[in-house]
Chain A
Amino acid sequence: MGWLRRIRRTGRFVQPAGSAPERASVPDLNGSLQLRHVDAGSCNGCEIELSGAFGPVYDAERFGARLVASPRHADGLLVTGVVTHNMAGPLRDTLEAVPHPRVVIAIGDCARNCGVFAAGYGVAGAVRDVVPVDVEVPGCPPTPDQILTALRSVSGR
């Protein structure tokens, strides 16, 4: 019964929920936010923080946010990284495949303003230059806490 003892010893390590942040100006999704993640040219720093946000400690699924496998199942896109020339088309196609009403959340400095990759030869621009963006999360990379706050501001929980 070692695992029972371990559970008791570890105690609760999930971050406390805190009060819900202010709602972003996006369509009301009734507290359920299914997201398809698109890596448009990221260095994978944001991905590591994303996995933290959806991991057991921050547990974004408490607040209705969930990663799904297809844009057809999604309420919106979670875009990381600068948009490279190669990924600009696929990013537009992916957004096209998401049913309305939909939201686009750009995560990290690169997604907001190209970050350190600005003026790179393969860079098409920030996410905003390619598809309309509803919510942006600053940081290089942003902390899971910041990501969580952005997700809660969209899901409204």
Chain B
Amino acid sequence: MFIQTESTGDANRLRVKPGRAVTGSGRVHFDDPADAAEASPLAARLLAVPGIVAVALGPDEIVVTRRAEADWSDLKPEVLRAVVAHYLEGGPALSAAVGAPEADEAAAQLRELIETRIRPTVAQAGGAVEFRGFEDGIVVLALEGRAAGLKGGIENMLRHYVPEVRAVREAEEHERLKSPAMNTSQALAVRQVLDQEVNPAVAGHGGNIALLDVKDDVAYIRLEGGCQGCGMADVTLKQGVEAAIRRAVPSIVAVRDTTDHAGGENPYFQPGKSGMTPF
């Protein structure tokens, strides 16, 4: 059995790919050993590992969450041992009592929030939003028109009502991040900087910075939402984003902006001849 592990962009979470189906379809989240004991032998086994506090089972992967002070070098062998033991025993990841993906409580709640509250607001702003899925705390949405500029607000709302939500990600980006090029150690390190440092910072201005590619030690990014077309985009990029990426990933020699800034519909700072003077 060949098991792969990879970073999730969150230092406390580890993705484990056992090389075979886990739930087959849909995602289920466990953080209560009692619930897991009833619904998932696999999750129950993993939650029994000291230091593991949550387990999310996906179609072909498992995401385990550690207690912040725990050390992966201690936990990882135990996690892998538990996964191997489960598959060697041959039991299902989920017991029959667990429903289909649509029954996933958080996903259903998210779908309802999006349909009843977010979609009308986004439409009023001249955009469209569609729920595509909920994986590892990531809400995957298709965002069109001015919806991209509202991503930060959507994320805040969803996080408020559904604490399991860690972030909102556009469907296109979500797919792109699954490509091999975006999962090299270098690309993962850049993603980690964007996920953990940059995007939480620019979210306050309705902005988002997406990683498009990492090639020949150059990171190609796209500025979205409030960052797209922003009068301070170059300053943010050069002084903030590039500095943070190159500091954390010294092998990156440059960060290139591929944004169509003319297409920005809701830039945070808009240039003008306001002629303000401090006198």
Task: Tell me, yes or no, whether A binds B.
Answer: no
